[in-house]
Amino acid sequence: MPIFRMSFLFFEHNRKNISVFFIHIFFLLPLLSLTLSGCSNEKNEQQQMPPAPIHTYKTEAKDTPIILKAVGNVKAFTSVTIKSRVDGHIIRIHFLDGDTVEKGQVLYTIDPETYLFSQKGALANVASDHASAELARKDYIRYRELYEKDVISKDEYEQKLTAYETARKKMEADSAQADIAKRNVKFTKVTSPINGIAGSTLLDEGNLIEADKDQLVVIKTITPASVDFYIPGHEIDRVRSHYIDDELPVFATPSGTGGKRIEGVLTFVDNWINPDTGMIKLSAHFPNKDKNLWPGMFVSIDLVLATQENAIRIPAQAVMRGPTGKFVYVVSKENATMRPVTTGMRIDDDVVINKGLGPDEVIVTDGMLRLFENAPVQILKKNNTGNATKTNNPPTQSGDKS
């Protein structure tokens, strides 16, 4: 009885606190139930998340050229500006604008009449000098015999000797003038000094031209052709290290040939770096048999320094950046995992992987935004018609992009 009374008194004293406690439990139990239910649902949803659709690429080890890229300007291998070497009127043009001309081919005819007259006069002077020299020679021989017999004085003999020498030298001088006149007649036929393609004539028939001054036409040789291009000065050591030992190939890609590359060789490295631009000039020689390279054209240049053997080369879009650096997603057993990589040089739309990937690994090239570590994936492989078909297996052909 006393114990029961004591319990009753304790309950009466703490009834208010006990009521508050049960009220709290009454309200907290439903909230706790909802929280546990939500976590369970979230976990189930995560476990039931559908695979992310992706495109893949299977890596392979292959030899990859180490390339320096630049923009080049095509130049004629030889360019000659034609000028006349004599004055006169142009009486005939022997070619059409844009014609292919050969070395020695007549391009212009200058009025030769004045030079023909000069040549005739020079030849007449030579003939007269020859007769005078012959007469002086005979006198000299006769006076020499008389001098040897002490018939004449030494002064008389020396006068005849001097007259003969003067006549002979005069004949030689007039002969030289005759040769000059003959050469001027020859120069009235303006010829091409090289094989090439003629540009547009700068002066028409009937124009009076001045020797060694007026330009007539420009002849350019385009087979072979040369291309000038510039690379950063800090690359010169790499170029010279290979250029000294090897003949470096150069590939030019004109914009109008549908991507057809034309092969040539590096022939020139300049001896200074432009301090204003930090660039150095290089030149390459191209056979250009198909005449795809035209003077003045801008082309894309690939200078091949060496070849990196067994390099892993993948699409650059597959490489992503994270808090710890670059990485790619690698597909294994229908899941995608993150793999850190170290990239090398960029080649067009591809990049070389120096570290982190080996051959025959399947990487993700599209659909990475929906991925996370060990994310389930579904590979979409594009066929030749461009429609996507679903498959659960990675591509089996080496280097197949999908």
The answer on pLDDT for 315 being more than 90 is yes
Q: How many helices (H) and strands (E) does the chain have?
A: 5, 21
The whole-number pLDDT of residue 381 equals 59
Q: Residue 334 — very low, low, confident or very high, per pLDDT cuts 50/70/90? A: confident
Query: What would the pLDDT profile of 95-130 be if each residue is shown by its tens digit?
Result: 999 999 999 999 999 999 999 999 999 999 999 999
Among 88-97, 186-195, 235-244, 262-271, the minimum mean pLDDT is found in: 235-244
- Between CA 99 and CA 96 the distance in angstroms is 6
Q: How far apart are CA 388 and CA 54, in angstroms?
A: 11
Contact 63, 311 (CB under 8 A): yes
Per-residue DSSP letter, 401: B
CA nearest neighbour of 201 among 295, 97, 108, 92: 97
Q: Report pTM.
A: 0.68
Q: Which residue has the higher pLDDT, 204 or 49?
A: 204
Q: Determine how β-strand 215-232 pairs with β-strand 196-198.
A: antiparallel
Supply the pLDDT for residue 31. 52
Angle at 84 between CA 80 and CA 86, to 5 degrees: 155
pLDDT category at 234 given cuts 50, 70, 90 is: very high
The whole-number pLDDT of residue 242 equals: 86
Which pLDDT value is given to residue 145? 93
| pLDDT for 357 | 95
Alpha-carbon gap, residue 101 to 94, rounded angstroms: 10
CA-CA distances (angstroms) from residue 286 to 40, 100, 231, 282?
71, 19, 19, 14
**239-249: average pLDDT:** 85
State percent of the chain over pLDDT 90: 71
Note if the bond before 224 is cis, omega within 30 degrees.
yes
Q: Position of tokens 């290089």?
A: 282
Structure confidence at residue 393 as a pLDDT band (50, 70, 90): very low
Question: Poorest-confidence range of 24-33, 350-359, 361-370?
Answer: 24-33
- Tens of pLDDT, residues 180-222: 999 999 999 999 999 999 999 999 999 999 999 999 999 999 9
Q: Does residue 13 have a pLDDT over 90?
A: no
Q: Which of 317, 342, 345, 346 is nearest to 327 (CA)?
A: 342
